[in-house]
Structure formats: C-alpha cells, structure tokens
Structure 1
Amino acid sequence: MAENNAPAEAPPKKGKLKLIIILTLLVVMAVGLSVVGTLWFIGADIPGLSSEEVPAEEAEEAFVPSGYTVLEKALVTTVEAEGRQRYAQVYVALEATDQDALAAASLHMPLVRSQLLGVLAGSDFMELQTPEGRKQLADQMLVAANTVLEQEGEPPLQRVLFRNFVVQ
C-alpha cells in the first residue's frame, strides 16, 4: 500500500475581524456608560434620564434669617402652688423674620410685657416644672403678644424664646 505523504489539510483560519469588532463595541459601550454614570453622579441634567421634573413654582424659597428682640428685664411674678405662693422669673426673647414685627414689639413693649406677665402669673406651678408645661407657656405667651400686635395693626411674631427660666 502506498503511504500518504501528503501534508494534512489545516483547518481554515477563522477571521480575527469578528473578534476585533466585538471588542471595539464593548470598549465604546464601557466608555459611554462611564460618561453617563459620571454625569449622573455629579447631578448634571441628561435629557431623557431625568426622573424628576421640578416645576418653576416649587423653586426653593430664599432663606430669610430671624431677628430677635430681647426683653432686658426679667418677668417676675408669683404663681399659685397648692395654696402657697411661689416665684417665677423668666427672661424672654421674641423672634420674627419680619423686622417690622420686631420694631412693633419694641414700640409696644409695655403692653406686650404686661400681657406676658399676666400669662405667666396665670400659670400652674407644677406645669412650669415640666418641659411640656414650659412649651405650652411659650405658646400662650406668643398668642398674647401677637394679640397685642394684631390690635395695633402690626405683623405677628414667630416664637417666644426663654433665655432663662427659674421657678422656686
């Protein structure tokens, strides 16, 4: 028998072109996703990816700082406690964002101070010893002060703050 000395046929070489195209597409997609991810992370507006549409009316309001009027003299009065007279001494500051309200409170300070003293004198001694009672007293004082300012045609205050609070 005759021997077959002919070289064996090599399998056909597959083109590397397909591999190069796939790798190129993967690199382009990775770069694109990287850019989009970076823009999203820094908060840039990307058309079509914005899930929240903010209307113009709901734009963030400008911050207005509060101003304060401090009552230099303490409010000192007696309060009723189980048949005994107790003393209450409160240093107060008035807060408002409207400077006109603070100017009006300063102008009408004798009347405002008188109303605040009346509210403090009408308080219960046991309630003044609790945080909730002091919060309620501040709310009542705010209502009294705003009532005075409203009667005078002035803008209202925002809060009554206690700088020092002593009951004994």
Structure 2
Amino acid sequence: MARPAAPAEHDEAAEVVPAGKSKKKLFIIIGALVVLLGGGGAAAWFFSQPDDSPREAEEKLQKAPVYLALETFTVNLQDSEQYMQVDITLQVPDQAQVDAIKLHMPRVRSRLLTLLSSRHADELVSAADKLKLAQEIQAQVVQPFDPKGKPQQVDDVLFTSFVIQ
C-alpha cells in the first residue's frame, strides 16, 4: 500500500509545477494587456488633440467673415432719365456690428439713398468708379448713428448686383 501513496504524492508535485507555469503565463498575459491598453489610450489621446492650439482656434473663429445683405436700392441718377438698381452686402467683423446696423437700418438706408441718387451715370462706368463708390458707401455706414456714439466697423462693401438703365 505504500506504493499507491507514492504516486499520489507525485501527482501533487506534478500539479504544483504546472500551477507555477500558469502563474507565469498569467503575469505575461496581464502585462501584455496593460501595455496594449496603455498604448491604445495614449494613441486615442494623441489623435483626439486638435491640430492648432486653443489660441489659434479662437483666432480662426474670430476671423470668420460676417455678412449683412441690405435690401435692393433703386434710385434715379442725376441729370438723366436713367436709374440705378444695386444690391449691397456689408462685411463686418462680428454679429454685434450686424445688430447695431440693423437697429439703425432706416438711417443707413437714408444715407445710402442720398449718396446713390447724387451720382451721374457716367461716374459709375469703370471698375475704379465702382470701387470709389464702395468706399464712399463704407464711409457713410461707419459714421456714428448717435452724436456721442462710436463708429460702426465695416470691413468691406460688396456689390452683389449693379444695374444702370
């Protein structure tokens, strides 16, 4: 009977040795998982970062143009039976300027109608003439609406339609 006891002791020793090897494999697998998860997390963080710094992103947002389309102007030109029909769009730096101009739109339209109706047809023929008119329109719009108010900001005046008949 001593013989059967010996193989049982041998089986316990055999079971202990593979358990040690399986712990080694378990540590290797856990270590590999930690490395993979850490690498995946690092890659996700790296690729989720914006290309620009926050300051550059803000500058890009601030530089986005804001446009305000004015209603069509139709005016009789000086000393002729011709008239001009023009669509004007203003480029302004921000929505606050759009709101300020819209608030005083009757005053803006009055200024521009006076300016446009004071022109002669032969003063509006060339591209240079139209550029000069755009600058004069800009000068009229940026004038303060209130005597003690500050001027509006208008970056550009764009003609979207320009007809003289």
Bin the TM-score by the shorter chain: 0.5 to 0.7
Q: CA deviation at 1:97?
A: 1.3
- The aligned length equals 106
Letter in 1 for 2:117: A
Task: Provide the C-alpha distance between the structure 1 equivalents of 2:112 and 2:150, rounded to a whole number of angstroms.
Answer: 19
- Over the matched positions of the two proteins, sequence identity in percent amounts to 28
Letter in 1 for 2:109: R
Q: Which one of 137, 141, 145 corresponds to residue 141 of structure 1?
A: 137
Identify the residue that residue 105 of structure 2 maps to in structure 1.
109
Task: Provide the C-alpha distance between the structure 1 equivalents of 2:120 and 2:131, rounded to a whole number of angstroms.
Answer: 13
RMSD of the alignment, in Å?
A: 2.1
Task: Provide the C-alpha distance between the structure 2 equivalents of 1:117 and 1:107, rounded to a whole number of angstroms.
Answer: 18
Task: Provide the C-alpha distance between the structure 1 equivalents of 2:146 and 2:128, rounded to a whole number of angstroms.
Answer: 27
Q: CA deviation at 1:84?
A: 2.2
Segments of 5+ residues of structure 1 without an aligned counterpart are: 1-58
- Structure 1 residues 93 and 150: alpha-carbon distance in aligned structure 2, compared to 1, 3 A threshold: farther
Q: As a proportion of its length, which structure holds more helix?
A: 2
Letter in 2 for 1:76: T
What does residue range 1-168 of structure 1 map to in structure 2 within 5 Å? 62-63=59-60, 64-71=63-70, 73-80=71-78, 83-149=79-145, 151=147, 152-153=149-150, 155-168=152-165
- TM-score computed with the length of structure 2 as normaliser: 0.58
User: Aligned to 2:82, what secondary structure does the other structure show?
Assistant: strand
Q: CA deviation at 1:122?
A: 1.3
Task: Provide the C-alpha distance between the structure 2 equivalents of 1:163 and 1:84, rounded to a whole number of angstroms.
Answer: 24
Task: Provide the C-alpha distance between the structure 2 equivalents of 1:106 and 1:166, rounded to a whole number of angstroms.
Answer: 25
Q: CA deviation at 1:98?
A: 2.3
- Structure 1 residues 92 and 74: alpha-carbon distance in aligned structure 2, compared to 1, 3 A threshold: same
Task: Provide the C-alpha distance between the structure 2 equivalents of 1:148 and 1:118, rounded to a whole number of angstroms.
Answer: 17
- TM-score computed with the length of structure 1 as normaliser: 0.57
Task: Provide the C-alpha distance between the structure 1 equivalents of 2:151 and 2:139, rounded to a whole number of angstroms.
Answer: 14
